[in-house]
Structures are given as C-alpha cells and as structure tokens.
C-alpha cells in the first residue's frame, strides 16, 4: 500500500531538493512563526494534509471515487512556493539582500529550469503547433467549410484537430498512450515501413478517408496510384495522398 | 478585423472583470479597496458566473453560439451593475484616496536609498513576470492533453459542439460525463468567438498573457497579507510595512521558473500548460483560496465579500477541473477547522461551510452523471 504513495512522491519530487527545501521551510516556520493564523495556513494544515496523504486508507478511498492517476494533485493543496518564499524572508528578517542571494542560489540549485527540455521548443506560429501540420491541413481542408477525413502519422496526430476540428481522423491520440491499451487495425497498418497498399486502401476506404498522409520514407508493396490515390502535395517530408474515389459524408 | 479582435480581448479580459469586481468589493473596508482587489475579485466572479451558465447548456445538449450569447448578456449586465454600484458607493473616490499614499511613496524612492533599493527589487520582480510572459508567446510546450482540451475549445468555437464529439477523432459521441462539468475549454471558446480569433491561438498564445500576471496578482495579495506588520509609527507610510514584498515576489517567480522538477508540480503546469483547467486550479484557484482564508484568519470574521469570493472560487475550481472542488474543500475545511478552534468561533466554521456548497453540488452532480 505504501508503494503506491511512495511511487507518487517519487514521480512528483524529481531530484527531491526542492521538496527538501519546502520541508525545511515548514520546519523553520514551525519553530519561528508565532502568528497562529499564518501558522495554521502554512504549517498546521499542510502537515495534516501530508500525513493524510500517506495514510493507505485515505488513498484507497480516493482511488475508489477518483482517478488514481490524479492522486499527486493532493500535493497541490500545499502552498509550497508561498511557504518557501515566506520562510526565506522570515529566516533572515531585515537582511533583504542576503535573503535574495541565498534563496536565489538555493532555488536555482534545487530546481530545474522550465524553458529547456524535450517538451519546449521555439514557437513556429501563433498556434504553437508545428508549421508542417498547418501547411498539410491547409492543403486538405475544403474551401467550402465542409469536413474532411484524413489519417496522419504519429508525430502529427496531436496537433491536427487543434488546427481545425473539420478534420476527422479514424484514430487519434488514444492510440499513442500505451497504458490506455487501445488497438486499431488501421493504426497498425500505418506503422509499417513497407506498406501493404491493398490492405491500407481497403481500410481507408472503409472510413471514407479522403487523405492519407505518409512519410516520404515509406515504401509500398504496390503503388498507391493503383488504388486510386494521387499525391497532391509533398510538405516537409510528408506525402499527401488523395483518394480520388471517396467523398466524406457531411 | 485585428482591431475588432484586440478590442474584444480588452473588453472580456480586462474591462468586464474589472467592472464586475466592483460588486463584491463594495462589502469591504474602504481603505482596503485597491485596483488589485477589484480585478482579482472580478475574475473569480466572472469565471464562477460562466460556470453557472455553461453547465446547464452542456447538460441540455445546446450549442456554443447560444451559450456565448447568454454569457455576453449576463456578463454585460453584471459589469453594468458593477459600474453603477461603484458610482453609488463612491468606490472611485476610495481608490483615489488609497493611491494618494502610493504617490507619496514614489516621491520617497527618489531621495531615500533604501526605498530606491525597494524600487529596484520591484523592477526585477516585474521583469521576471515579463520574462515568463515573453516565453509564453515565444516558446511552444508540447502536452498530449492539448489533443483533448484545446480541441474541445476549437470544436466548440468552430462548430458549436458542446462535449458531444470525440476530441481525438471528431466522431459523434454521448456526453463526456467525466469532463462535462469542467468547462474551462468552453471559456476559451467563448473568448475565441467574441474576439474572432482561433481558439488554439487564444489558448496557447494569448491566454497565458492574462493568466500569468493574474496569478501573480493573487501571489501579490497573499504576500501583502503575510508580510503586513503592525506598526506603532502613525506616520509610517503603508509601503514601508511591505518592503519585503518585492523580494517575496522575486522568490515566487524563481520558484515557478525553476519549479520544473517533474511533470506534476504546480510550477510545471503553470508555465507549460497555463491554458489548461488543471493549471488554473493548481495555481490561480489554490492561491486565491489561500488569500481569502488569510483574509479571514486574522480576526476570525468571514465577511460578506470573502463569503461571495470563496463561493465563487469554489465554482471556478469546478470550472477548472472536476477534482478542483475536492481540493479546495479540503483546504477550506482544514484551515476553517483550526481557525474556528483558535478564534473559538463556530460561526466561522459554518460560514466557511456555506462557501463550500458549490463543492457539494458539483460533487453530487458528478456522481449522478
């Protein structure tokens, strides 16, 4: 039972240094803060929350009524930033420069800069989605405002309907989250390096799929043209195949 | 077209919440009324009212256009009421008196080295906020949940659909009961429709420019409460009591910028998923609850303005994410319990309990759905 809670804390804390800083701030305020209303908000209640958070019975009840994957959000009740900042000021009261220098060093060394990492990149446009997606969608979207059905490679799936909800997809992000355990034959076909063109065509036509977007690196057992597809554009390493035999029902 | 969009944004993101804010602040002590209080209060009321309007529309299977029209009418009436209320209660006069002191402070900073140092810290604090706002525009963060939440906004704004289309694919579905009560994506769609801008641009680029400074406004208000000192010197101007406040704000900013120790922290959500309801809960809502509880904490009195705002904050928590009402209720219950013992006041406890009515209502609704 404790394994679940320790797992949650393990995922939440990262290196653990910022959490240690918070616990240190809690301890300091426990010793130094004499104003009871502030003490209640910043020390008493957070300590109670932390204790309850660790109790297996509470965790079982929580997981019964709410999603277990969201248990870490209990930690959002703790005013960590406010507590650390306030404790730093209380520790060195009257010495603002020292507070600023010491706390800045401690925070920078304990924390992790948010603007680096795999999940951050310079924005390519105002939508904050890859420009490739915008360009591909602009090619396939009908000018009359009607809907269209298209299937996309994995790396573009997340963004397509953020650009336009007029694009219907046979499958979406749910296929990419493995722990959700979704399966779809169309998705499996799209993962092939050497495409079974006949199978792909039959499946796509079953969805009334107007377009298939594939990487230019894909190879085919038979040409797509044999099944009524033509390349209408090539954008940033993706071929846009239009099915000339299908119309998406509006 | 661009002028219309900008005017629309200024109207719904600045003017309307400020005007609505005059309504709850009329119950607070005159000398405590500031533009910050008004704006902070106005946003909580505005989001709460939107939640109140939107849920029936979603459950009844209506469409986004009807919801937008209804929201425009209601918020406009509230804003007009707020402006009328401010004139009737002469709130403008109170603001002018309160800010006269700030004018004196600005003069003091030119001649007093310590006050000049304070001013430099304020410049740094504001600079750090501007730094975060710049990165919110210039950098894109990837999050898979956008394929759900942002698409809900796009779908609502483009086709009027209210939670009856699968966001991942676009196929029709029954009402998504798990998310049907957390309607923050529809607020983004409302802003998109009233400004004529794309919902994704609204979410990713424009909304962080409002939510980031707004959240820091709540941090500022809580910092004021924590750092206010009693002073025996009658002549001491208010700002001298708060010379640690800019340091507090700098440290808060640093904790957000360097808080990305994992994908799950408040800070990570704040700067990489600002536009999602979960981030609004983890940051704006929880901080505003703490602020309001501190307003109560000192003398144990839950006055009308705090009750209204706590009530609205709980509704905003429901707007943000389904779990929001549970988290705010736990915090209010915990603090309320200890404060009622400290102040020996049962009235404090039941008044705070009344503010948690939205938590109970939305929890029951969630279970029923």
Q: What is the DSSP string of B120-166?
A: HHHHHHHHHHHHHHHHHHHEEE--TTHHHHHHHHHHHHHH---S-B-
- Which helix (H) or strand (E) element contains residue B262? none
**Out of B159, B272, B338, closest to residue A114 by CB:** B272
Token pair of B123, please? Answer: 């410049």
pLDDT of residue B352: 95
- Measure the CA–CA gap between A128 and B140, rounded to whole angstroms: 5
Residue whose entry in the numeric block shows the structure tokens 């039959």? A202
- Measure the CA–CA gap between A141 and A243, rounded to whole angstroms: 14
Chain B CB contacts of A112 below 8 Å: 258-261
Whether residue A250 is contained in a domain is answered as no
Let me know: does A83 contact A25? Beta carbons within 8 Å: yes
Chain A CB contacts of B244 below 8 Å: 89, 96, 99
Q: What is the mean pLDDT for each group of 10 consecutive residues in chain B (369 residues)? A: 88 96 84 86 96 95 96 97 85 69 60 80 96 97 94 97 95 88 96 96 96 96 85 47 87 96 94 96 96 90 91 96 93 95 92 95 89
The whole-angstrom distance between B324's CA and the closest CA on chain A is: 9
Contact B169 A79 (CB under 8 A): no
* Chain A contact for B149 (CB, 8 A cutoff): no
* Chain B contact for A162 (CB, 8 A cutoff): yes
Whether residue A123 is contained in a domain is answered as no
The whole-angstrom distance between B316's CA and the closest CA on chain A is: 15
Over residues A222-230, the mean pLDDT reads 94
Count how many domains chain A has: 2
Over residues A203-232, the mean pLDDT reads 95
* Chain B contact for A40 (CB, 8 A cutoff): yes
pLDDT of residue B108: 60
Token pair of A103, please? Answer: 């706390």
- Measure the CA–CA gap between B288 and B217, rounded to whole angstroms: 9
| Distance spanning both ends of chain B, measured CA to CA | 41
Contact A168 B170 (CB under 8 A): yes
Token pair of B369, please? Answer: 């759905």
3-state secondary structure chain A: CHHHHHHHHHHHHCCCHHHHHHHHHHHHHHHHCCCHHHHHHHHHHHHHHHHHHHCHHHHHHHHHHCCHHHHHHHHHHCCHHHHHHHHHHHHCCCCHHHHHHHHHHHHHHHCECCCCCCCEEECCCCCCCCHHHHHHHHHHCCCCCCCEEEECCHHHHHHHHHHCCCEECCCCHHHCCHHHCCCCHHHHHHCCCEECHHHHHHHHHHCCCCEEEEECCCEECCCHHHHCEEEEEEECCEEEEEECCCCCCC
- Measure the CA–CA gap between A16 and B145, rounded to whole angstroms: 26
Whether residue A115 is contained in a domain is answered as no
pLDDT of residue B152: 97
* Chain B contact for A129 (CB, 8 A cutoff): yes
- Measure the CA–CA gap between A108 and B248, rounded to whole angstroms: 16
Q: Tens digit of pLDDT for each residue in B199-247?
A: 999 999 999 999 999 999 999 999 999 998 754 444 444 555 568 999 9
pLDDT of residue B236: 45
Whether residue A202 is contained in a domain is answered as yes
Whether residue A194 is contained in a domain is answered as yes
How many CB atoms neighbour CB B342 within 10 A?
Answer: 16
- Measure the CA–CA gap between A55 and A61, rounded to whole angstroms: 10
For Cα atoms A239, A244, A247, give the angle at the middle one, nearest 5 degrees.
Answer: 110
pLDDT of residue B104: 60
* Chain A contact for B103 (CB, 8 A cutoff): no
Percent of chain A with pLDDT over 90: 80
Whether residue A56 is contained in a domain is answered as yes
pLDDT of residue B239: 52
- Measure the CA–CA gap between A158 and A166, rounded to whole angstroms: 15
> Strand A229-235 vs strand A211-215: parallel, antiparallel, or unpaired?
unpaired
Residue A167 β-bridge partners? A148
pLDDT of residue B28: 76
* Whether residues A102 and A137 fall in one domain: no
The whole-angstrom distance between B160's CA and the closest CA on chain A is: 11
Whether residue A120 is contained in a domain is answered as no
**Out of A66, A103, A163, closest to residue B251 by CB:** A103
| B71 to B146, B191, B365: CA distances (angstroms) | 25, 11, 22
Let me know: does A209 contact A243? Beta carbons within 8 Å: yes
Token pair of B300, please? Answer: 């144990």
**Out of A76, A112, A127, closest to residue B260 by CB:** A112
Containing structural domain, residue A192: 131-243
* Chain B contact for A219 (CB, 8 A cutoff): no
- Window 279-298 of B, Cβ < 8 Å to A: 281-282, 286-287, 290, 293-294, 297-298
Residue where one domain finishes, among candidates A110, A143, A176: A110
* Whether residues A94 and A24 fall in one domain: yes
* Whether residues A106 and A178 fall in one domain: no
Whether residue A122 is contained in a domain is answered as no
Chain B CB contacts of A158 below 8 Å: 142, 144, 146-147
Chain B CB contacts of A103 below 8 Å: 251, 254
Q: Tens digit of pLDDT for each residue in A199-210?
A: 999 999 999 999
CA proximity to A248, closest of A201, A198, A211:
A211
Residue where one domain finishes, among candidates A75, A110, A145: A110
Residue whose entry in the numeric block shows the structure tokens 């909304």? B207
* Whether residues A52 and A86 fall in one domain: yes
* Whether residues A87 and A139 fall in one domain: no
Assign A249 a pLDDT band (cuts: 50, 70, 90).
low
Q: Tens digit of pLDDT for each residue in A77-134?
A: 999 999 999 999 998 888 889 999 999 999 999 999 999 878 899 999 999 999 999 9
> Is the sign of the CA dihedral B61, B62, B68, B72 positive or negative?
negative
Residue where one domain finishes, among candidates A56, A78, A110: A110
């Amino acid at each position: 039972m404790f394994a679940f809670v320790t797992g949650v804390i393990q995922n939440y804390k990262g290196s653990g240094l910022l959490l240690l800083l918070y616990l240190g701030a809690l301890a300091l305020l426990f010793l130094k803060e004499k104003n009871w209303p502030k003490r209640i908000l910043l020390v008493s209640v957070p300590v109670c929350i932390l204790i309850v958070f660790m109790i297996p019975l509470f965790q079982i009840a929580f997981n019964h009524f709410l999603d277990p994957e969201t248990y870490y959000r209990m930690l959002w009740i703790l005013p960590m930033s406010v507590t650390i900042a306030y404790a730093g000021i209380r520790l060195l009261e009257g010495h603002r420069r020292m507070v600023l220098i010491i706390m800045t060093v401690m925070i920078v060394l304990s924390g992790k800069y948010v603007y680096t990492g795999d999940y951050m990149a310079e924005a390519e446009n105002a939508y904050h989605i890859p420009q490739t997606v915008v360009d591909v969608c602009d090619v396939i979207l009908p000018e009359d405002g009607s809907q269209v059905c298209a299937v996309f490679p994995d790396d573009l799936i997340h963004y397509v309907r953020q650009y336009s909800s007029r694009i219907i997809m046979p499958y979406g992000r749910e296929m990419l989250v493995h722990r959700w355990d979704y399966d779809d034959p169309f998705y499996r076909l799209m993962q092939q390096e050497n495409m079974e063109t006949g199978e792909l065509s039959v499946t796509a036509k079953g969805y009334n799929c107007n377009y298939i977007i594939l990487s230019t690196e894909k190879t085919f057992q038979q040409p797509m043209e044999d099944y009524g597809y033509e390349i209408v554009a090539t954008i940033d390493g993706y071929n846009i195949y239009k099915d000339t035999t299908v119309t998406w029902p509006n | 077209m661009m002028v219309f969009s900008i005017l629309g944004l200024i109207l719904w993101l600045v003017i309307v919440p400020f005007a609505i804010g005059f309504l709850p602040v009329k119950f607070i002590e005159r000398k405590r009324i500031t533009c910050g209080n008004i704006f902070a209060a106005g946003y909580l009321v505005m989001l709460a009212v939107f939640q109140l309007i939107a849920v029936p529309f979603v459950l009844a299977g209506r469409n986004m256009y009807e919801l937008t029209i209804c929201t425009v009418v209601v918020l406009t009436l509230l804003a007009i009421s707020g402006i009328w209320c401010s004139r009737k209660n002469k709130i403008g006069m109170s603001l002018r008196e309160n800010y006269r002191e700030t004018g004196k402070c600005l003069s003091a900073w030119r001649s007093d080295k310590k006050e000049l140092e304070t001013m430099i810290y304020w410049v740094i604090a504001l600079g750090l906020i501007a730094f975060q706002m710049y990165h919110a525009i210039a950098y894109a963060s990837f999050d898979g949940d956008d394929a759900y939440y942002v698409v809900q906004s796009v779908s609502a704004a483009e086709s009027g659909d209210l939670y009856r289309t699968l966001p991942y694919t676009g196929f029709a579905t029954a009402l998504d009961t798990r998310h049907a009560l957390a309607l923050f994506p529809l607020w983004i769609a409302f802003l998109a429709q009233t400004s004529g801008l794309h919902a994704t641009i609204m979410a990713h680029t424009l909304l962080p420019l409002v939510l980031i400074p707004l959240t820091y406004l709540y941090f500022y208000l809580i910092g004021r409460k924590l750092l206010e000192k009693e002073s025996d010197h009658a002549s001491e101007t208010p700002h001298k009591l708060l010379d640690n406040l800019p340091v507090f704000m700098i440290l808060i900013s640093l904790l957000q910028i360097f808080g990305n120790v994992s994908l799950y922290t408040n800070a990570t959500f704040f700067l990489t998923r600002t536009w999602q309801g979960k981030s609004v809960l983890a940051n704006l809502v929880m901080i505003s609850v703490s602020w309001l509880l501190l307003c109560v904490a000192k003398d144990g009195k839950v006055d009308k303005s705090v009750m209204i705002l706590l009530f609205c904050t709980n509704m905003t928590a429901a707007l943000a994410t389904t779990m929001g009402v549970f988290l705010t209720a736990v915090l209010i219950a915990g603090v309320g319990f200890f404060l009622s013992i400290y102040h020996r006041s049962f009235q404090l406890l039941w008044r705070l309990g009344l503010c948690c009515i939205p938590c109970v209502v939305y929890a029951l609704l969630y279970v029923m759905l």
